[in-house]
């Protein structure tokens, strides 16, 4: 352990390159070293320690033989697309929930007593896809 710590202290870039060689065994070590140097030059802000610890990057890079700088650029693009898709899905769900909630509000009682209103509220919580307004519930009760 101490020897490895000394190695990292002496040359952190070499230690990172060795770590990447271990994590990406499909990569040719010479091409990996070239890509590593190109990555450092093209993206000095890149956190390579975090990249080595990122399971999504390792999954993304697994089996690919692209140079490391190309892999990094591709992964950045993939991450951005993935982030946008997740944000879009969350926003769509939020809008759907908000739209359903606002569409399902109605007059305070529509002629229902407190017990009926409580039953309706419980129904709407349990079955949001079948949620009813107080008017719809009152009309349903009249037809029973």
Domain range for 125 is: 106-144
On whether both 26 and 63 belong to a single domain, the answer is yes
Within this chain, do residues 15 and 54 fall inside the same structural domain, yes or no? yes
Q: Within this chain, do residues 95 and 143 fall inside the same structural domain, yes or no?
A: no
Number of domains in the chain: 2
The answer to whether residues 71 and 85 belong to one domain is yes
98 shares a domain with 111: no
Residue whose entry in the numeric block shows the structure tokens 């693009």: 77
Q: Is 38 buried (19+), middle (13-18) or exposed (0-12) by CB count in 10 A?
A: middle
What tokens does 36 get? 């590593």
pLDDT tens, residue by residue, 47-100: 888 888 888 888 888 888 888 888 899 999 998 998 898 888 888 887 766 555
Instruction: Give 5-17 pLDDT, tens digit per residue.
Output: 544 455 788 888 8
Counting beta carbons within 10 angstroms of the beta carbon of residue 50, is it exposed (0 to 12), middle (13 to 18) or buried (19 or more)?
exposed
φ and ψ at residue 86, rounded to 5 degrees: -65, -45
């Amino acid at each position: 352990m101490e020897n490895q710590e000394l190695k990292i202290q002496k040359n952190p870039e070499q230690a990172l390159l060795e770590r990447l060689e271990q994590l990406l065994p499909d990569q040719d070590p010479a091409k990996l070293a070239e890509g590593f140097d190109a990555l450092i030059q093209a993206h000095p802000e890149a956190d390579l320690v975090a990249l080595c610890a990122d399971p999504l990057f390792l999954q993304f890079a697994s089996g690919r033989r692209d140079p490391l700088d190309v892999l990094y650029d591709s992964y950045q693009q993939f991450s951005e697309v993935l982030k946008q898709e997740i944000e879009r899905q969350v926003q769509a769900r939020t809008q759907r929930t908000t739209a359903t909630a606002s569409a399902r509000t109605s007059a305070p009682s529509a002629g229902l007593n407190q017990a009926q209103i409580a039953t309706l509220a419980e129904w709407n919580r349990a079955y949001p896809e079948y949620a009813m307004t107080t008017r719809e519930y009152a009309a349903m009760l009249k037809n029973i």
